């Protein structure tokens, strides 16, 4: 039986409009809706007067102008970046130039990999290098707000979430979103790390998640548990596909993702590969050579 995820897809969005969503949080959404961005990239402003800004978004002049107009007369002390995909970090460069604020992130794209020379996927912002590299447990603060850095690799190896202590709110980037599951695309995306990062969230006491795309998640732990159940179900589906004689990802995806827009099947194939890499490492599935999109797999 398929896992039901309690998606939250209703959200009042007007691109370029600033919404005061809580006493300490404002959000402005970029006009970049799409299959991977939902209604667009939501940039968050934390605090009043002296503020932190999370995920400046794509390289979009209108979005940067909207942010600067909202923050006229205020000081930006921190530019925080969850990860380096093209819908999250490229806006940091012009926003930094306009405000003089430093950028903070785990590191450049691929920096969470333990080995060198990893082939990173398309859609990555390779130009972004943070002014300040941050690590799990680091604390950033301003007048009236305190942010804890929570390392959540998996979607990318450098993915960092940010916890606003004063509101028990976690800015989850693309790690947990209310409208969709996250793409975990090898080699930089790692399913083992992603699942471990989901389990990490179950040990926290966050009251609400604010993803970069879509509406907030107001009941976090059941939502995270449904994501974990979904990933376990995907692995059961892969085993069923192998039992049915479908040994390649190309054969599996049209069956496993029959209800998904075919335009997203290439991304689904990357997620299936991430699962299979994990299952090969665990000894559930076997293959000859390194797992890839063209590999033939078998039950171990």
DSSP string, 235-286: HHHHHHHHHTT--BHHHHHHHHTTTS-GGGHHHHHHHHHHHHHHHHHHTSEE
| Weakly modelled stretches of the chain, pLDDT under 50 | 114-120
Q: How far, in Å, CA of 261 to CA of 29, rounded? A: 24
pTM of full prediction above 0.85 = yes
Which pLDDT score, from 0 to 100, does residue 146 have?
98
Phi-psi region of 55 (alpha: psi -120 to 50; beta: other; left: phi over 0): left
Which pLDDT score, from 0 to 100, does residue 122 have?
53
Q: How far, in Å, CA of 225 to CA of 8, rounded? A: 15
Which pLDDT score, from 0 to 100, does residue 234 have?
95
Q: Are 264 and 35 in contact (CB under 8 A)?
A: yes
Q: How far, in Å, CA of 140 to CA of 163, rounded? A: 10
Which pLDDT score, from 0 to 100, does residue 115 have?
46
Which one-letter DSSP state was computed for residue 140?
A: E
Which pLDDT score, from 0 to 100, does residue 118 have?
42
Which pLDDT score, from 0 to 100, does residue 117 have?
42
Domains of the chain: 18-219 (3.60.15.10), 227-299 (1.10.10.10)
Q: Are 173 and 199 in contact (CB under 8 A)?
A: no
Which pLDDT score, from 0 to 100, does residue 108 have?
78
* Sequential DSSP letters for 170-220: EEEETTS-SSSPPP--TTTS-HHHHHHHHHHHHTS--SEEEESSS--BSSH
47-76 pLDDT per residue, tens = 999 999 999 999 999 999 999 999 999 999
End-to-end CA gap in the chain: 24
Which pLDDT score, from 0 to 100, does residue 120 have?
43
Q: How far, in Å, CA of 149 to CA of 134, rounded? A: 7
């Amino acid at each position: 039986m398929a896992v039901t995820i309690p998606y939250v897809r209703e959200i009042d969005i007007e691109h370029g409009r600033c919404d005061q969503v809580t006493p300490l949080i404002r959000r402005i959404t970029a006009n970049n809706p799409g299959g991977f961005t939902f209604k667009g990239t939501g940039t968050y402003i934390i605090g009043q007067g002296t503020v932190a800004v999370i995920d400046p978004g794509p390289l979009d002049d209108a979005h940067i102008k909207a942010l600067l107009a909202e923050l006229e007369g205020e000081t930006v002390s921190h530019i925080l970046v969850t990860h380096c995909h093209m819908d999250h970090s490229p806006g940091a460069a012009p926003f930094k130039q306009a405000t003089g604020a430093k950028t903070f992130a785990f590191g450049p794209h691929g920096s969470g990999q333990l080995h060198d020379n990893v082939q990173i996927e398309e859609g990555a912002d390779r130009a972004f290098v943070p002014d300040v590299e941050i690590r799990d447990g680091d604390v950033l603060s301003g007048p009236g707000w305190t942010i804890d850095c929570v390392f959540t690799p998996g979607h990318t190896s450098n993915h960092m979430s940010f916890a606003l202590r004063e509101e028990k709110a976690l800015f989850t980037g693309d790690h947990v979103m209310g409208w969709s599951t996250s793409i975990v695309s090898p080699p930089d995306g790692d399913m083992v790390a992603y699942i471990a990062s989901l389990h990490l969230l179950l040990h926290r006491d966050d009251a609400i998640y604010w993803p970069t795309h879509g509406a907030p998640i107001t009941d976090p732990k059941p939502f995270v548990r449904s994501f974990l159940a979904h990933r376990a179900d995907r692995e059961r589906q892969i085993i069923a596909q192998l039992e049915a004689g479908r040994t390649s990802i190309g054969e599996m995806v049209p069956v496993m993702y029959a209800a998904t827009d075919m335009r997203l099947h290439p991304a689904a194939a990357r997620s299936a590969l991430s699962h299979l890499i994990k299952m090969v490492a665990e000894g559930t599935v076997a293959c000859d050579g390194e797992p890839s999109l063209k590999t033939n797999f078998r039950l171990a």
